[in-house]
């Protein structure tokens, strides 16, 4: 088929904004699962470890991204977690089974080690409490341990364990995926809503400055979706600040156009949850708006078959180690654009996860490297700061299993403070390039600073330890700006970061 240069137009008005970006939209997640913690961020004895056993090479890559917040310690793991097991002298910490992932948790790395790691990685914690096998008493004790200065049983225990100052953790997840039958301590929406309300209430008695995230649905296709959200919020509206969303996509059918259209599904999911939040707001005649925490999102499917072969009750096996290819990076770029387009309501989002487990960063005993998805995530985090403009893309769409999907997916972010304008764009057309125009006459004096391009002839190309740069961004001479009209050529199947500065 002859390759054509297709046309599209991006329309923005600098006075028509969606919202300022909350930088926590670029957060991530470390679960006690597989080699995320052990061998990922913590490996005493490794030539990459510092004196605390923390891997310096992964910290360096995490700082390269600039991850603002890291959710911890789960995930499914948290629903059976006894946090007390993970503090105090390491030699006395019990080894426990983790029935969520059928492994043994040694507790060698625990709460204090995580807090020490967050400081070194220049990030902030988002801590989850166990509302599965435990409940509000445990949530109260944990926040006392973390956030009360001194003079009480658990705060003094923290001090005895070496942390004189409180951890001051501000962001708390009230359990994890409690709607899922796979979850330890799975609950009905009514049961969970009551528990979340009381956990949040007692936690805010202890520290009124915290923010609480209640569990929404594990994905939009759960049988209880929407009624779960409505019931949970009916019960916990006053103490909840954010409602969580989770979703993972895969290309099991090897249908790339359908796979790349998954961001349309994500978009519908966000809009639907916003509607439910606002429905409950109206029912309650409340002035308070519940915002969203999309605290698990990614591509996850490559490792599913391999993981079925795992033996039970071993320590930190290779688990959920998806090796991401180029098309995965395109979808991750598109999912980031989707989150940004909902920046008025999505205030927190966590790419799940960060190291080794469905992650942008991989490690071995001999090094650490960037997976394909590292790049759109890092670039969005670095350049996607400022005010999201209402971005309308005029151009063709294709039919997909998720509905009509525009070939060009884009969002424009204006940062008046630094005098920069950033355009993220994915071209999902696998054959044709697009010439995209954008009227930027309102941005007088701006110049094209760079156009960074991620593309590859092979949709299935991957980065490995031996070949870490098979898929890597390049500087591209694809954008011009003349008399206020920007014209960009977006190659077929590409992720683009176009930056203009004053
Ligand atoms: O991120 C992997 C798992 O996916 C998490 O533990 C769980 O919350 C979700 O189902």
C-alpha torsion 476→425→389→422, nearest 10: -20
Can you give the pLDDT at residue 317?
A: 97
Distance 75 CA to ligand 1 centre (A): 5
279 close to 230: Cβ distance less than 8 angstroms:
yes
- Is omega for the bond preceding 471 within 30 degrees of 0, making it cis? no
**Integer Cα distance of 486 and 481 in angstroms:** 4
Distance 384 CA to ligand 1 centre (A): 26
Which residue's CA is the nearest one to ligand 1's atom 2? 75
Distance 76 CA to ligand 1 centre (A): 6
In residues, how long is the chain? 502
Question: Among the atoms of ligand 1, which is closest to the Cα of residue 33?
Answer: 6
Instruction: Provide residues with CB under 6 Å of ligand 1.
Output: 31, 74-76, 176-177, 296, 352-353
Residue labelled with tokens 């500087």: 475
433 close to 487: Cβ distance less than 8 angstroms:
no
Residue labelled with tokens 């980031």: 336
Q: How many CB atoms lie within 10 A of CB 117?
A: 25
Question: Among the atoms of ligand 1, which is closest to the Cα of residue 75?
Answer: 6
**Integer Cα distance of 496 and 488 in angstroms:** 10
Q: Which is it for the CA torsion 255, 260, 262, 268, positive or negative?
A: negative
pLDDT along the chain (502 residues), means of 10: 83 98 98 98 98 98 98 98 98 97 98 98 98 97 98 98 98 98 98 98 98 98 98 98 98 98 98 98 98 98 97 97 98 98 98 98 97 98 98 98 98 97 98 97 97 98 97 97 97 98 95
Distance 337 CA to ligand 1 centre (A): 22
Active-site residue (options: 84, 105, 177, 321): 177
- Is omega for the bond preceding 21 within 30 degrees of 0, making it cis? no
Does 137 participate in catalysis according to the annotation? no
Does 177 participate in catalysis according to the annotation? yes
Residue labelled with tokens 């790395």: 109
Which residue's CA is the nearest one to ligand 1's atom 4? 75
Which residue's CA is the nearest one to ligand 1's atom 7? 75
160 close to 105: Cβ distance less than 8 angstroms:
no
**Integer Cα distance of 197 and 205 in angstroms:** 12
**Integer Cα distance of 426 and 260 in angstroms:** 10
Structure tokens at 351: 């790419």
Q: Give the domains, in start order, of the chain with CATH numbers.
A: 5-14+390-501 (2.60.40.1180), 22-138+165-383 (3.20.20.80)
Can you give the pLDDT at residue 318?
A: 97
Q: How many CB atoms lie within 10 A of CB 342?
A: 23
- Per DSSP, what are the bridge partners of residue 59? none
375 close to 426: Cβ distance less than 8 angstroms:
no
Can you give the pLDDT at residue 4?
A: 82
Distance 175 CA to ligand 1 centre (A): 12
Which residue's CA is the nearest one to ligand 1's atom 8? 75
Question: Among the atoms of ligand 1, which is closest to the Cα of residue 76?
Answer: 6
78 close to 142: Cβ distance less than 8 angstroms:
no
The alpha carbon of 180 is separated from its chain's Cα centroid by a whole number of angstroms, namely 20
- Could you tell me the pTM of the whole model? 0.97
Structure tokens at 21: 């970006």
Can you give the pLDDT at residue 396?
A: 96
Question: Among the atoms of ligand 1, which is closest to the Cα of residue 100?
Answer: 6
Question: Among the atoms of ligand 1, which is closest to the Cα of residue 320?
Answer: 2
**Integer Cα distance of 327 and 336 in angstroms:** 14
Active-site residue (options: 39, 105, 144, 296): 296
């Amino acid at each position: 088929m002859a390759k054509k240069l297709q046309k599209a137009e991006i329309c923005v008005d600098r006075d028509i904004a969606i919202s300022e970006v909350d930088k926590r939209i670029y957060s991530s997640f470390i679960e006690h699962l597989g080699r995320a913690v052990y061998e990922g961020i913590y490996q005493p004895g490794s030539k990459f470890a510092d004196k605390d056993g923390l891997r310096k090479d992964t910290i360096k890559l995490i700082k390269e991204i600039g991850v603002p917040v890291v959710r911890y310690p789960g995930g499914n793991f948290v629903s059976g977690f006894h946090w007390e097991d993970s503090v105090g002298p390491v030699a006395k910490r019990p080894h426990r089974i983790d029935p969520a992932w059928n492994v043994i948790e040694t507790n060698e790395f625990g709460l204090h080690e995580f807090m020490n790691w967050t400081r070194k990685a220049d990030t902030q914690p988002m801590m989850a409490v166990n509302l599965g096998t435990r409940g509000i008493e445990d949530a109260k004790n944990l926040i006392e341990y973390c956030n009360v200065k001194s003079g009480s049983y658990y705060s003094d225990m923290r001090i005895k364990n070496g942390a004189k100052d409180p951890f001051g953790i501000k962001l708390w997840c009230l359990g994890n995926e409690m709607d899922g039958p796979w979850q330890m301590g799975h609950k009905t929406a009514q049961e969970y809503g009551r528990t979340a309300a009381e956990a949040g209430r007692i936690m805010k008695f202890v520290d009124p400055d915290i923010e609480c995230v209640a569990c929404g649905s594990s994905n939009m296709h759960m049988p209880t979706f929407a009624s779960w959200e409505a019931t949970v919020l009916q019960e916990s509206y006053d103490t909840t600040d954010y409602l969580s969303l989770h979703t993972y996509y895969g290309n099991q059918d090897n249908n790339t156009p359908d796979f790349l259209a998954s961001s349309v599904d994500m978009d519908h999911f966000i809009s639907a949850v916003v509607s439910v939040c606002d429905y409950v707001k109206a029912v309650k005649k409340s002035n308070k708006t519940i915002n969203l925490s999309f605290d698990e999102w990614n591509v996850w499917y490559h490792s599913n078959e391999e993981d079925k072969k795992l033996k039970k009750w071993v320590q930190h096996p290779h688990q959920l180690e998806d090796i991401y290819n180029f098309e995965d990076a395109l979808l991750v770029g598109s999912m980031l654009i989707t989150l940004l387009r909902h920046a008025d309501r999505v205030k927190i989002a966590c790419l799940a996860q960060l190291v080794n487990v469905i992650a942008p960063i991989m490690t071995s005993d001999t090094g650490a490297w960037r997976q394909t998805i590292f790049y759109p995530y890092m670039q969005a985090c670095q350049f996607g700061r400022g005010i999201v403009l209402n971005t309308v893309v005029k151009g063709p769409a294709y039919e997909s299993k998720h509905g009509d999907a525009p070939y060009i997916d884009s969002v424009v972010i204006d940062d008046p403070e630094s005098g920069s304008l950033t355009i993220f764009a994915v071209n999902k057309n696998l054959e044709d390039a697009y010439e995209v125009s954008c009227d930027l006459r309102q941005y007088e004096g701006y110049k094209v600073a760079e156009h960074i391009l991620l593309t590859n002839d092979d949709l299935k190309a991957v980065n490995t330890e031996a070949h870490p740069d098979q898929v890597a961004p390049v500087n591209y001479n694809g954008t011009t700006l003349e008399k206020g009209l920007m014209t960009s050529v977006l190659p077929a199947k590409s992720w683009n970061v176009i930056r203009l500065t004053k």
